[in-house]
Structure 1
Amino acid sequence: MKLNNLLVLYVYDKESSKNEVLPLLEEKLKKVFTANSLKQAQSCYRKYSPCIIVLDDSFLDNTMVKFLQEIRQSDIKTAFLVLSNNKANEYLYALMELYITKYILKPFKIEHLLLGLNKCLEVIESRIYSNVNLGNGILFNFQTQSLTKDGKVFVLNKKESILVNLFIQNPNRVITYEELEYHIWDNECTTAALKSLIRDFRKKTYKTILKNYSGIGYKLNLQN
Protein backbone atom coordinates (compact mmCIF):
# COMPACT_ATOMS: atom_id res chain seq x y z
CA MET A 1 0.00 0.00 0.00
CA LYS A 2 1.29 3.47 -0.95
CA LEU A 3 0.17 7.02 -0.23
CA ASN A 4 -0.76 7.63 -3.85
CA ASN A 5 -3.26 4.76 -3.61
CA LEU A 6 -5.27 6.35 -0.82
CA LEU A 7 -8.51 8.33 -0.89
CA VAL A 8 -8.51 11.34 1.43
CA LEU A 9 -11.17 13.70 2.72
CA TYR A 10 -9.84 17.20 3.40
CA VAL A 11 -12.11 19.25 5.68
CA TYR A 12 -11.20 22.92 6.10
CA ASP A 13 -12.71 25.99 7.71
CA LYS A 14 -10.87 28.72 5.75
CA GLU A 15 -10.41 29.24 2.02
CA SER A 16 -6.85 30.44 2.63
CA SER A 17 -6.07 27.12 4.31
CA LYS A 18 -7.47 25.20 1.35
CA ASN A 19 -5.31 27.16 -1.08
CA GLU A 20 -2.24 26.33 0.99
CA VAL A 21 -2.81 22.68 1.87
CA LEU A 22 -4.88 21.17 -0.95
CA PRO A 23 -2.14 21.40 -3.63
CA LEU A 24 0.25 19.57 -1.29
CA LEU A 25 -2.26 16.79 -0.70
CA GLU A 26 -3.16 16.44 -4.37
CA GLU A 27 0.51 16.08 -5.25
CA LYS A 28 0.96 13.05 -2.98
CA LEU A 29 -2.42 11.32 -2.92
CA LYS A 30 -4.61 9.47 -5.41
CA LYS A 31 -7.78 11.45 -4.83
CA VAL A 32 -8.65 14.24 -2.42
CA PHE A 33 -12.26 15.15 -1.71
CA THR A 34 -12.93 18.48 -0.02
CA ALA A 35 -15.54 19.81 2.38
CA ASN A 36 -15.87 23.15 4.17
CA SER A 37 -18.94 22.46 6.30
CA LEU A 38 -20.21 19.75 8.59
CA LYS A 39 -22.93 18.74 6.13
CA GLN A 40 -20.45 18.40 3.26
CA ALA A 41 -18.01 16.48 5.44
CA GLN A 42 -20.67 14.00 6.55
CA SER A 43 -21.87 13.52 2.97
CA CYS A 44 -18.35 12.96 1.60
CA TYR A 45 -17.49 10.49 4.35
CA ARG A 46 -20.59 8.39 3.70
CA LYS A 47 -20.17 8.54 -0.08
CA TYR A 48 -16.45 7.93 -0.49
CA SER A 49 -15.29 6.07 2.67
CA PRO A 50 -11.89 7.83 2.75
CA CYS A 51 -8.83 6.14 4.23
CA ILE A 52 -7.66 9.39 5.83
CA ILE A 53 -9.51 12.48 7.06
CA VAL A 54 -7.34 15.60 7.16
CA LEU A 55 -9.11 18.09 9.41
CA ASP A 56 -7.85 21.67 8.99
CA ASP A 57 -9.72 23.67 11.63
CA SER A 58 -9.28 26.53 14.10
CA PHE A 59 -11.51 24.77 16.66
CA LEU A 60 -13.47 27.84 17.67
CA ASP A 61 -16.22 25.37 18.61
CA ASN A 62 -16.58 21.60 18.85
CA THR A 63 -18.49 21.02 15.60
CA MET A 64 -15.72 19.07 13.91
CA VAL A 65 -14.80 17.24 17.10
CA LYS A 66 -18.35 15.89 17.19
CA PHE A 67 -18.02 14.93 13.51
CA LEU A 68 -14.96 12.80 14.26
CA GLN A 69 -16.60 11.36 17.38
CA GLU A 70 -19.57 10.30 15.27
CA ILE A 71 -17.27 8.48 12.86
CA ARG A 72 -15.31 6.73 15.60
CA GLN A 73 -18.47 5.19 17.01
CA SER A 74 -18.39 2.60 14.24
CA ASP A 75 -15.15 3.19 12.32
CA ILE A 76 -11.76 2.50 13.87
CA LYS A 77 -9.92 2.06 10.56
CA THR A 78 -9.95 5.60 9.15
CA ALA A 79 -6.90 7.64 10.16
CA PHE A 80 -7.30 11.23 11.39
CA LEU A 81 -4.69 13.93 10.70
CA VAL A 82 -5.38 17.30 12.33
CA LEU A 83 -3.98 20.66 11.24
CA SER A 84 -4.65 23.77 13.32
CA ASN A 85 -3.39 27.22 14.17
CA ASN A 86 -4.95 26.94 17.62
CA LYS A 87 -2.06 26.56 20.05
CA ALA A 88 -4.37 26.49 23.08
CA ASN A 89 -6.95 24.10 21.71
CA GLU A 90 -9.44 23.30 24.48
CA TYR A 91 -10.58 20.25 22.51
CA LEU A 92 -7.15 18.64 22.28
CA TYR A 93 -7.86 15.95 24.88
CA ALA A 94 -11.14 15.08 23.18
CA LEU A 95 -9.24 14.71 19.90
CA MET A 96 -6.60 12.50 21.49
CA GLU A 97 -9.32 10.14 22.70
CA LEU A 98 -10.31 9.67 19.05
CA TYR A 99 -6.93 8.10 18.21
CA ILE A 100 -5.81 10.91 15.93
CA THR A 101 -2.59 9.94 14.20
CA LYS A 102 -0.96 13.37 14.18
CA TYR A 103 -1.73 16.89 15.40
CA ILE A 104 0.23 19.47 13.41
CA LEU A 105 0.37 23.12 14.42
CA LYS A 106 0.34 25.75 11.69
CA PRO A 107 2.37 27.13 10.12
CA PHE A 108 4.20 23.91 9.28
CA LYS A 109 6.85 22.68 6.89
CA ILE A 110 5.86 20.33 4.09
CA GLU A 111 8.06 17.68 5.69
CA HIS A 112 5.77 17.69 8.74
CA LEU A 113 2.72 17.07 6.58
CA LEU A 114 4.43 14.24 4.70
CA LEU A 115 5.53 12.70 7.97
CA GLY A 116 1.95 12.84 9.21
CA LEU A 117 0.57 11.27 6.03
CA ASN A 118 3.09 8.45 6.14
CA LYS A 119 2.27 7.84 9.79
CA CYS A 120 -1.40 7.58 8.76
CA LEU A 121 -0.39 5.01 6.16
CA GLU A 122 1.36 2.94 8.83
CA VAL A 123 -1.68 3.11 11.09
CA ILE A 124 -4.04 2.08 8.28
CA GLU A 125 -1.86 -0.88 7.34
CA SER A 126 -1.61 -2.04 10.94
CA ARG A 127 -5.38 -1.83 11.39
CA ILE A 128 -6.25 -3.47 8.08
CA TYR A 129 -3.76 -6.30 8.17
CA SER A 130 -3.78 -7.08 11.86
CA ASN A 131 -6.09 -9.33 13.86
CA VAL A 132 -7.57 -8.43 17.23
CA ASN A 133 -7.44 -11.17 19.83
CA LEU A 134 -10.89 -11.52 21.40
CA GLY A 135 -9.78 -14.27 23.75
CA ASN A 136 -10.42 -18.02 23.81
CA GLY A 137 -8.47 -18.36 20.55
CA ILE A 138 -10.85 -16.10 18.61
CA LEU A 139 -9.47 -13.44 16.24
CA PHE A 140 -11.28 -10.53 14.63
CA ASN A 141 -10.00 -9.28 11.25
CA PHE A 142 -10.65 -5.61 10.47
CA GLN A 143 -10.17 -5.98 6.74
CA THR A 144 -12.63 -8.80 6.21
CA GLN A 145 -14.84 -8.03 9.23
CA SER A 146 -14.72 -11.70 10.13
CA LEU A 147 -14.03 -13.95 13.11
CA THR A 148 -11.70 -16.92 13.13
CA LYS A 149 -12.64 -19.64 15.63
CA ASP A 150 -11.23 -23.16 15.80
CA GLY A 151 -9.74 -22.70 12.35
CA LYS A 152 -13.07 -21.67 10.82
CA VAL A 153 -13.83 -18.19 9.45
CA PHE A 154 -17.19 -16.54 10.13
CA VAL A 155 -18.00 -13.37 8.15
CA LEU A 156 -20.09 -11.02 10.27
CA ASN A 157 -23.26 -9.38 9.04
CA LYS A 158 -23.60 -5.59 9.14
CA LYS A 159 -25.14 -5.41 12.61
CA GLU A 160 -22.60 -7.82 14.10
CA SER A 161 -19.77 -5.87 12.47
CA ILE A 162 -20.92 -2.56 13.98
CA LEU A 163 -21.36 -4.28 17.33
CA VAL A 164 -17.86 -5.73 17.53
CA ASN A 165 -16.23 -2.52 16.28
CA LEU A 166 -18.01 -0.51 18.97
CA PHE A 167 -16.74 -2.80 21.70
CA ILE A 168 -13.19 -2.98 20.35
CA GLN A 169 -13.08 0.80 20.12
CA ASN A 170 -14.39 1.15 23.68
CA PRO A 171 -12.83 -1.78 25.55
CA ASN A 172 -12.88 -0.18 28.99
CA ARG A 173 -16.38 1.19 29.28
CA VAL A 174 -19.97 0.05 29.25
CA ILE A 175 -21.77 0.61 25.93
CA THR A 176 -25.30 1.62 26.86
CA TYR A 177 -28.43 0.12 25.38
CA GLU A 178 -29.21 3.52 23.90
CA GLU A 179 -25.83 3.71 22.15
CA LEU A 180 -26.24 0.26 20.69
CA GLU A 181 -29.75 1.04 19.46
CA TYR A 182 -28.59 4.33 17.92
CA HIS A 183 -25.55 3.00 16.07
CA ILE A 184 -26.90 -0.37 14.98
CA TRP A 185 -30.57 0.37 14.35
CA ASP A 186 -30.69 4.17 14.14
CA ASN A 187 -32.91 4.23 17.25
CA GLU A 188 -35.44 1.84 15.73
CA CYS A 189 -34.85 -1.25 17.82
CA THR A 190 -36.80 -3.55 20.10
CA THR A 191 -35.40 -5.11 23.25
CA ALA A 192 -35.92 -8.52 21.66
CA ALA A 193 -33.85 -7.55 18.60
CA LEU A 194 -30.94 -6.36 20.76
CA LYS A 195 -31.01 -9.50 22.89
CA SER A 196 -31.12 -11.65 19.77
CA LEU A 197 -28.06 -9.90 18.30
CA ILE A 198 -26.09 -10.28 21.54
CA ARG A 199 -27.12 -13.95 21.79
CA ASP A 200 -26.02 -14.69 18.21
CA PHE A 201 -22.70 -12.87 18.71
CA ARG A 202 -22.00 -14.88 21.86
CA LYS A 203 -22.69 -18.10 19.95
CA LYS A 204 -20.06 -17.12 17.38
CA THR A 205 -17.56 -16.22 20.12
CA TYR A 206 -18.20 -17.34 23.72
CA LYS A 207 -20.85 -16.74 26.37
CA THR A 208 -18.90 -14.38 28.64
CA ILE A 209 -17.38 -12.11 25.95
CA LEU A 210 -19.94 -9.40 26.76
CA LYS A 211 -20.77 -8.64 30.38
CA ASN A 212 -24.25 -7.29 31.00
CA TYR A 213 -24.80 -4.41 33.41
CA SER A 214 -28.48 -4.58 34.24
CA GLY A 215 -30.39 -1.48 33.20
CA ILE A 216 -27.26 0.08 31.61
CA GLY A 217 -25.69 -1.94 28.81
CA TYR A 218 -22.78 -4.25 27.96
CA LYS A 219 -19.00 -4.20 28.33
CA LEU A 220 -16.31 -6.20 26.54
CA ASN A 221 -15.06 -8.94 28.86
CA LEU A 222 -12.17 -10.69 27.14
CA GLN A 223 -11.01 -14.08 28.39
CA ASN A 224 -7.39 -14.94 27.61
Structure 2
Amino acid sequence: MKLNNLFVLYVFDKTSSKNEVLSLLEKKLKKVFIANSLKQAQSCYRKYSPCIIIVDDSFFDNTMVKFLQEIRQSDIKTAFLVLSNNKTNKYLYELMELYITKYILKPFKKEELLLGLEKSLEVIESRIYSNVNLGRGILFNFQTQSITKEGKVFILNKKESILVNLFIQNSNRVITYEELAYHIWDNECTSAALKSLIRDFRKKTYKTILQNYSGIGYKLNIQN
Protein backbone atom coordinates (compact mmCIF):
# COMPACT_ATOMS: atom_id res chain seq x y z
CA MET A 1 0.00 0.00 0.00
CA LYS A 2 1.28 3.47 -0.95
CA LEU A 3 0.10 7.03 -0.36
CA ASN A 4 -0.80 7.45 -4.03
CA ASN A 5 -3.30 4.58 -3.64
CA LEU A 6 -5.31 6.34 -0.93
CA PHE A 7 -8.54 8.35 -0.87
CA VAL A 8 -8.42 11.23 1.62
CA LEU A 9 -11.06 13.57 2.99
CA TYR A 10 -9.80 17.07 3.82
CA VAL A 11 -12.15 19.02 6.09
CA PHE A 12 -11.31 22.69 6.70
CA ASP A 13 -12.81 25.73 8.42
CA LYS A 14 -12.79 29.37 7.31
CA THR A 15 -9.48 30.10 9.08
CA SER A 16 -7.59 27.43 7.11
CA SER A 17 -4.94 28.08 4.48
CA LYS A 18 -6.71 25.56 2.26
CA ASN A 19 -4.80 26.02 -0.99
CA GLU A 20 -1.38 25.39 0.53
CA VAL A 21 -2.47 22.11 2.17
CA LEU A 22 -4.60 20.97 -0.76
CA SER A 23 -1.75 21.49 -3.22
CA LEU A 24 0.51 19.20 -1.23
CA LEU A 25 -2.17 16.55 -0.73
CA GLU A 26 -3.08 16.40 -4.41
CA LYS A 27 0.56 15.75 -5.32
CA LYS A 28 0.89 12.80 -2.94
CA LEU A 29 -2.52 11.11 -2.85
CA LYS A 30 -4.73 9.32 -5.33
CA LYS A 31 -7.82 11.43 -4.66
CA VAL A 32 -8.63 14.24 -2.24
CA PHE A 33 -12.23 15.06 -1.38
CA ILE A 34 -12.81 18.43 0.28
CA ALA A 35 -15.47 19.68 2.69
CA ASN A 36 -15.88 23.03 4.45
CA SER A 37 -18.88 22.14 6.59
CA LEU A 38 -20.06 19.33 8.83
CA LYS A 39 -22.79 18.36 6.38
CA GLN A 40 -20.34 18.11 3.48
CA ALA A 41 -17.88 16.13 5.61
CA GLN A 42 -20.55 13.62 6.66
CA SER A 43 -21.73 13.22 3.08
CA CYS A 44 -18.20 12.68 1.71
CA TYR A 45 -17.35 10.15 4.40
CA ARG A 46 -20.48 8.09 3.72
CA LYS A 47 -20.08 8.30 -0.05
CA TYR A 48 -16.35 7.73 -0.50
CA SER A 49 -15.13 5.84 2.63
CA PRO A 50 -11.74 7.65 2.73
CA CYS A 51 -8.69 5.97 4.28
CA ILE A 52 -7.54 9.19 5.97
CA ILE A 53 -9.53 12.14 7.31
CA ILE A 54 -7.59 15.39 7.74
CA VAL A 55 -9.34 17.96 9.90
CA ASP A 56 -7.98 21.51 9.55
CA ASP A 57 -9.83 23.42 12.25
CA SER A 58 -9.43 26.04 14.98
CA PHE A 59 -11.63 24.06 17.40
CA PHE A 60 -13.51 27.05 18.73
CA ASP A 61 -16.32 24.55 19.29
CA ASN A 62 -16.60 20.75 19.30
CA THR A 63 -18.32 20.31 15.92
CA MET A 64 -15.41 18.42 14.35
CA VAL A 65 -14.77 16.44 17.52
CA LYS A 66 -18.34 15.13 17.42
CA PHE A 67 -17.94 14.32 13.72
CA LEU A 68 -14.86 12.19 14.43
CA GLN A 69 -16.48 10.60 17.48
CA GLU A 70 -19.44 9.55 15.36
CA ILE A 71 -17.11 7.85 12.88
CA ARG A 72 -15.06 6.08 15.56
CA GLN A 73 -18.17 4.37 16.93
CA SER A 74 -17.99 1.89 14.06
CA ASP A 75 -14.78 2.65 12.16
CA ILE A 76 -11.40 2.03 13.75
CA LYS A 77 -9.51 1.66 10.47
CA THR A 78 -9.65 5.22 9.12
CA ALA A 79 -6.68 7.34 10.23
CA PHE A 80 -7.26 10.86 11.60
CA LEU A 81 -4.82 13.75 11.13
CA VAL A 82 -5.48 17.08 12.82
CA LEU A 83 -4.11 20.46 11.70
CA SER A 84 -4.79 23.45 13.94
CA ASN A 85 -3.56 26.88 15.00
CA ASN A 86 -5.05 26.28 18.46
CA LYS A 87 -2.17 25.76 20.91
CA THR A 88 -4.47 25.46 23.93
CA ASN A 89 -7.12 23.23 22.41
CA LYS A 90 -9.52 22.27 25.20
CA TYR A 91 -10.69 19.31 23.12
CA LEU A 92 -7.22 17.78 22.79
CA TYR A 93 -7.90 15.02 25.33
CA GLU A 94 -11.08 14.04 23.53
CA LEU A 95 -9.18 13.95 20.24
CA MET A 96 -6.51 11.72 21.74
CA GLU A 97 -9.21 9.28 22.83
CA LEU A 98 -10.13 8.95 19.14
CA TYR A 99 -6.65 7.59 18.31
CA ILE A 100 -5.65 10.49 16.10
CA THR A 101 -2.39 9.73 14.30
CA LYS A 102 -0.88 13.20 14.66
CA TYR A 103 -1.79 16.67 15.91
CA ILE A 104 0.11 19.23 13.83
CA LEU A 105 0.28 22.84 14.98
CA LYS A 106 0.13 25.60 12.36
CA PRO A 107 2.16 27.03 10.81
CA PHE A 108 4.05 23.88 9.92
CA LYS A 109 6.62 22.72 7.41
CA LYS A 110 5.42 20.49 4.60
CA GLU A 111 7.73 17.76 5.91
CA GLU A 112 5.60 17.56 9.06
CA LEU A 113 2.44 16.91 7.04
CA LEU A 114 4.23 14.34 4.86
CA LEU A 115 5.47 12.59 8.00
CA GLY A 116 1.90 12.58 9.33
CA LEU A 117 0.66 11.01 6.08
CA GLU A 118 3.34 8.32 6.19
CA LYS A 119 2.49 7.58 9.82
CA SER A 120 -1.19 7.36 8.87
CA LEU A 121 -0.30 4.81 6.22
CA GLU A 122 1.47 2.69 8.83
CA VAL A 123 -1.56 2.92 11.10
CA ILE A 124 -3.95 1.89 8.32
CA GLU A 125 -1.81 -1.10 7.39
CA SER A 126 -1.53 -2.28 11.00
CA ARG A 127 -5.30 -2.07 11.42
CA ILE A 128 -6.43 -3.65 8.18
CA TYR A 129 -3.86 -6.41 7.79
CA SER A 130 -5.67 -8.49 10.34
CA ASN A 131 -8.64 -10.80 10.55
CA VAL A 132 -12.15 -9.56 11.34
CA ASN A 133 -14.48 -11.96 13.12
CA LEU A 134 -17.76 -12.16 11.20
CA GLY A 135 -19.30 -14.53 13.73
CA ARG A 136 -19.83 -18.28 13.86
CA GLY A 137 -16.09 -18.87 13.51
CA ILE A 138 -15.90 -17.08 10.14
CA LEU A 139 -12.98 -14.71 9.55
CA PHE A 140 -12.49 -12.03 6.91
CA ASN A 141 -8.89 -11.14 6.00
CA PHE A 142 -8.36 -7.61 4.69
CA GLN A 143 -4.99 -8.35 3.12
CA THR A 144 -6.12 -11.30 1.02
CA GLN A 145 -9.77 -10.22 0.74
CA SER A 146 -10.80 -13.74 1.65
CA ILE A 147 -13.16 -15.52 4.03
CA THR A 148 -12.19 -18.53 6.11
CA LYS A 149 -15.06 -20.84 7.02
CA GLU A 150 -14.68 -24.28 8.62
CA GLY A 151 -11.05 -24.41 7.55
CA LYS A 152 -11.79 -23.53 3.93
CA VAL A 153 -10.63 -20.27 2.35
CA PHE A 154 -12.87 -18.44 -0.13
CA ILE A 155 -11.26 -15.66 -2.18
CA LEU A 156 -13.90 -12.99 -2.79
CA ASN A 157 -14.55 -11.54 -6.21
CA LYS A 158 -14.44 -7.76 -6.71
CA LYS A 159 -18.13 -7.13 -5.97
CA GLU A 160 -18.13 -9.37 -2.90
CA SER A 161 -15.00 -7.63 -1.65
CA ILE A 162 -16.55 -4.17 -1.98
CA LEU A 163 -19.70 -5.47 -0.30
CA VAL A 164 -18.02 -6.89 2.81
CA ASN A 165 -15.74 -3.87 3.23
CA LEU A 166 -18.74 -1.54 3.10
CA PHE A 167 -20.56 -3.47 5.78
CA ILE A 168 -17.52 -3.73 8.06
CA GLN A 169 -16.80 0.00 7.79
CA ASN A 170 -20.47 0.84 8.45
CA SER A 171 -21.35 -1.91 10.89
CA ASN A 172 -23.60 0.25 13.07
CA ARG A 173 -26.06 1.35 10.40
CA VAL A 174 -28.24 0.22 7.53
CA ILE A 175 -26.60 0.59 4.10
CA THR A 176 -29.25 1.59 1.60
CA TYR A 177 -29.90 -0.09 -1.72
CA GLU A 178 -28.82 3.16 -3.41
CA GLU A 179 -25.46 3.18 -1.60
CA LEU A 180 -24.79 -0.43 -2.56
CA ALA A 181 -25.66 0.30 -6.18
CA TYR A 182 -23.37 3.35 -6.20
CA HIS A 183 -20.32 1.69 -4.65
CA ILE A 184 -20.55 -1.74 -6.30
CA TRP A 185 -22.07 -1.04 -9.71
CA ASP A 186 -21.55 2.72 -10.13
CA ASN A 187 -25.36 3.07 -10.05
CA GLU A 188 -25.85 0.57 -12.91
CA CYS A 189 -27.59 -2.10 -10.85
CA THR A 190 -30.77 -4.16 -10.98
CA SER A 191 -32.56 -5.50 -7.91
CA ALA A 192 -31.94 -9.01 -9.25
CA ALA A 193 -28.18 -8.42 -9.40
CA LEU A 194 -28.12 -7.12 -5.82
CA LYS A 195 -30.17 -10.05 -4.51
CA SER A 196 -27.87 -12.47 -6.32
CA LEU A 197 -24.76 -10.88 -4.77
CA ILE A 198 -26.29 -10.97 -1.29
CA ARG A 199 -27.32 -14.60 -1.76
CA ASP A 200 -23.83 -15.65 -2.85
CA PHE A 201 -22.24 -13.80 0.08
CA ARG A 202 -24.58 -15.49 2.54
CA LYS A 203 -23.64 -18.90 1.11
CA LYS A 204 -19.99 -18.18 1.91
CA THR A 205 -20.86 -17.00 5.43
CA TYR A 206 -24.33 -17.68 6.88
CA LYS A 207 -27.90 -16.78 6.06
CA THR A 208 -28.52 -14.17 8.77
CA ILE A 209 -25.23 -12.24 8.48
CA LEU A 210 -27.03 -9.47 6.57
CA GLN A 211 -30.36 -8.30 7.93
CA ASN A 212 -32.75 -6.88 5.36
CA TYR A 213 -34.75 -3.75 6.13
CA SER A 214 -37.57 -3.83 3.61
CA GLY A 215 -37.56 -0.84 1.26
CA ILE A 216 -34.34 0.54 2.80
CA GLY A 217 -31.31 -1.76 2.62
CA TYR A 218 -29.18 -4.17 4.64
CA LYS A 219 -27.28 -4.11 7.93
CA LEU A 220 -24.42 -6.31 9.16
CA ASN A 221 -25.78 -8.74 11.75
CA ILE A 222 -22.82 -10.61 13.27
CA GLN A 223 -23.89 -13.59 15.38
CA ASN A 224 -21.64 -15.68 17.61
Distance 1:7 1:86 in 2: 27
Quick one: which amino acid aligns to residue 20 of structure 1?
A: E
Q: Hey, what does 1:93 align to over in structure 2?
A: 93
1:113 correspondence with 2:113: yes
| Residues 1:25 and 1:88: Cα distance change in structure 2 (over 3 Å) | same
Give the letter aligned to residue 50 of structure 2.
P
Question: 1:126 — aligned with what?
Answer: 126
Q: Which runs of 5+ in 1 are unaligned?
A: 167-182, 187-192, 203-224
Aligned equivalents of 1:133, 1:49: Cα separation in 2: 21
Q: Give secondary structure in 1 for the equivalent of 2:17.
A: helix
Sequence identity of aligned pairs in percent? 79
TM-score by length of 1: 0.65
TM-score by length of 2: 0.65
Q: How many residues are treated as equivalent by the alignment? A: 175
SS in 2 for 1:34: strand
The residue number in structure 1 matching 2:34 is 34
Aligned to 1:21: 21
Instruction: Give the match for residue 54 of structure 2.
Output: 54
Q: Which residue of 2 aligns with 1:11?
A: 11
- Cα distance in 2 for partners of 1:200, 1:123 equals 25
Residue identity in the other structure for 1:4: N
Question: Hey, what's the Cα distance between the residues in 2 that align with 1:199 and 1:67?
Answer: 24
State how far apart, in whole Å, the 1-side matches of 2:113 and 2:6 are: 15
Q: Could you say if the C-alpha distance between residues 153 and 85 of structure 1 is closer, same or farther in structure 2, counting changes exceeding 3 Å?
A: same
RMSD: 3.4
Question: CA separation in 2, counterparts of 1:118 and 1:95?
Answer: 20
Q: What is the aligned partner in structure 2 of residue 141 from structure 1?
A: 141
Select 2:223's aligned residue among 201, 207, 220. 201
Change (3 A) 1:140 1:10: same
Confirm or deny: 8 A CA contact 2:15 2:57 kept in the other structure.
no
Counterparts of 1:87 and 1:103 in 2: how far apart (Å)? Answer: 10
Q: How far apart, in 1, do the equivalents of 2:173 and 2:66 lie?
A: 19
| 1:74 corresponding residue in structure 2 | 74
SS of the residue aligned with 2:34?
strand
Q: Structure 2: which 5+ residue stretches go unaligned?
A: 176-210, 212-218
